[in-house]
Structure 1
Amino acid sequence: MSINGVKQPTNKSLISSSSTVQITKDVLTTCHPTKTFNYHQGTSITSLNFDDSGQYLISSGIDKSIQLYDCHKGIHYKDIQSQKYGAHSARFTHEGLNCLYASTLDPTVNEGNEDTIRYLSLSNNQYIRYFKGHKAQVTSIEVNPVHNTFGSSSYDGTVKFWDLKSSSAIGNISVGQNSVIAFDPQGIVVAIGKYPIGNSQTGKIRLYDLKSFDKGPFVEVEIPCLQNQIWNKLEFSNNGKLLLISTDSREHYILDAFSCKLLAIAKLSFRKDLTWMSTKYPYSGCCAFTPCGKFLLIGSPKALIHIFDLSDLKSDQEKPIILTRSNDIVKSNVGIPKIVLFNPKLFTFATADTTVNLWQPKNE
């Protein structure tokens, strides 16, 4: 994939082409929903994830299912039920149509298996391995972009690292609370985010070298933020320059990926709306970088997706830039864009609330 462009779809139902289009604000503002899928039966969707090739997309929801879609053909591909264990934070690995996912059921119903991570072959619905070690429900799973390893965070206050070939954790970091994690594009660094708890208005970002994480973080920065907000995703830009903190509040934060210096605050509202994008169930973030790292898409409860150009952000700037609501938006007629995720290979992005929607730019 080119850093400055992604493949341009040439047909609304078949999203595959060898042509490449530059990602610009003008093209992004022409994006509109071209496919809508309602295979979670109108219930809340909690995570989306594209595979490495960009061909496949998976969603998980509170209906205790994982749904698989073919983005090349623009079709629903498979329904995977997990009624016994629930399903959240479904993530593709680098091994074919295999995915990891967390359980969601109450331990009194689930016989204490709510902390188990499952490794599933989507091709034949067979479990490959179980990863046990957390002592409370797993809230997020992130796959290393380079290696066949992954990280997980849990309500037990730890972040654990795993090798796909072993059922036991290969590393553990005690965080003290639930957290969010992200790997840098080279798979060398892991970022761990602690959002504010109680009356605190300060979160923390820590960067660890994966080869020596037991020695502690090499960067630790406090982030001034809103009280009672929940951080639901960390994301490095593909160019490795920026780090995004996506929250359930009206504010989101863009940091320098090397120093974790706060470069920008996206404020979609100046009203003290405590329920801006807060939902009963967890979800994997309403913000996403474009593959080039130059733009940020942010969903709002107004059924809008705001588009911000990040080109002017500089690591040596004195103060954070305040990004406010602008005219660069696209409107959703298919529900609230509670989850937003850009395809890594194709010029399409996905949104979800109770339905999964694929967006594409209008053909010129």
Structure 2
Amino acid sequence: MSADELPTKEANVLRGHEGAVLAARFNADGNYCLSCGKDRTIRLWNPHRGIHIKTYKSHGREVRDVHVTQDNSKIISCGGDRQIFYWDVSTGRVIRKFRGHDSEIIDTFQDSVMSVCLTSSQLIAGSVDGTVRTFDIRIGRELSDYLGQPVNCISLSNDGNCVLASCLDSTLRLLDRSTGELLQEYKGHVCKSYKLDCFLTNSDAHVTGGSEDGYVFFWDLVDASVVSRFRAHASVVTSVSYHPKDNCMISASVDGTIRVWKT
């Protein structure tokens, strides 16, 4: 995919949140997206038609992250109330609540855990203490990689071989998942005081992430050059999510909007 084929043209603006939007995520097939924010709500949208479908309310404080299950039937969300909620998508009912507690896993960190990824056998977590830790769920083994800078977001490459970590020194770092080796660093954006998402595009050819100055960046995965940057929002870009199949992306911002980008 060339830089010309990256999604940088605004296709829709989704409005409805009161205050900052902290995360926006496509569902598994890319037909819908979820958003969450300071207004304590989760919202379900059809981003391609610009339609708001449903609002989910139960969190007592801001909702910081949201994900939908592979079969699109359940939502998992977490927030400032230190609870993880497990929702039924169709009824909007909370099925279960998981209260935050000091588990053995979290005890190994010296500071807040900002981001987690889950695979079939591993839990990968990034922390303000500067570490990315991998826990093997089956055998209980823990691996730790120290990056030297506070980690505020992590994501996995689509092939599962790499971990992308956003750090508060305005640098994204790509790590080999099995060895922890630093493969590449991506710079040019501003990330010093906000939790900003970072992802690889669905082809793993480019790295993308938001910036505190309202820009979205695309980097070449291999040589780390900035192949595209554009002003996406009037304020901090807190979240980006890439469509699982198409050249389409959504971004969310402190300005209260979610924007849909296409080629």
Q: TM bucket by the smaller chain?
A: 0.7 to 0.9
- Alpha-carbon spacing, 1:35–1:334, altered in 2? closer, same or farther (3 Å): farther
Kindly state the Cα deviation for residue 59 of structure 1 after the two structures are TM-superposed.
0.7
User: Is 1:82–2:58 an aligned residue pair?
Assistant: yes
- The percent identity for this pair of structures is 21
For CA contacts below 8 A with separation 6 or more, give which structure has more relative contact order: 2
Higher radius of gyration, 1 or 2: 1
Q: Provide, for residues 85-130 of structure 1, a one-character-per-residue CA deviation record: whole Å limited to 9, x for no partner.
A: 55332221234342122243xxxxxxxxx33322112322222222
Which of 92, 106, 124 is matched with 1:125 structurally? Answer: 92
Candidates 222, 234, 257, aligned match of 2:146: 222
Is 1:267 aligned to residue 234 of structure 2? no
Tell me if the contact between 1:32 and 1:330 (Cα under 8 Å) persists in the aligned partners: no
Q: Structure 1 pair 75/277, CA: closer, same or farther in 2 (3 Å)? A: farther
TM-score under structure 1 length normalisation: 0.64
Is the aligned partner of 1:195 residue 2:173?
A: no
Offset of residue 245 of structure 1: 0.4
Q: Letter of the aligned partner of 1:131 in structure 2?
A: F
**Shift of residue 173 of structure 1?**
5.2
Q: Does 1:331 align with 2:231?
A: yes
Residue 24 of structure 2, aligned match among 48, 58, 63: 48
Match of 1:205 in 2: 132
Give the whole-Å Cα distance in 1 for the aligned partners of 2:173 and 2:193: 17
Task: Report Cα offsets for 1:185-231 as digits up to 9, x if no partner.
Answer: xx2232233333xxxxxx22232322112xx32x3322233xxx4x2
Displacement of 1:300 after TM fit? 1.9
Query: What is the aligned-residue RMSD (CA, Å)?
Result: 2.5
2:38 to 62, 80, 83: 62
Q: Distance in 1 between matches of 2:216 and 2:249?
A: 11
**Can you list the C-alpha shifts for 1:32-55, whole angstroms capped at 9, x where unaligned?**
2211112112x1111222221111
Q: 1:336 to 1:103 in 2, by over 3 A?
A: closer
Amino acid at match of 1:194: S
Which residue number in structure 1 is paired with residue 9 of structure 2? 32
Letter in 2 for 1:57: C
Which one of the candidate residues 235, 238, 241 is aligned to 1:341?
Answer: 241
| Cα deviation, residue 56, structure 1 | 1.5
User: Residue 182 of structure 1 is aligned with which of 110, 117, 124?
Assistant: 117
Deviation sequence 1:160-182 (CA, Å, 0-9, x none): xxxxxxxxxxxx55323322322
Superposed counterparts of 1:233-272, under 5 Å: 233-268=153-188
- Is the partner of 1:302 in helix, strand or coil? coil
Instruction: Flag structure 2 segments of 5+ consecutive residues without an equivalent.
Output: none
Note if contact 1:90-1:102 (Cα within 8 Å) is conserved in structure 2. yes
- Paired residue total: 259
Distance, in Å, in 1 between the alignment partners of 2:93 and 2:227 is 48
1:286–1:300 Cα contact (<8 Å) kept = no
3-state SS of paired residue (2:138): coil
- Output the TM-score relative to the length of structure 2: 0.86
- Aligned in 2, Cα 1:223/1:31: closer, same or farther, shift over 3 Å? same
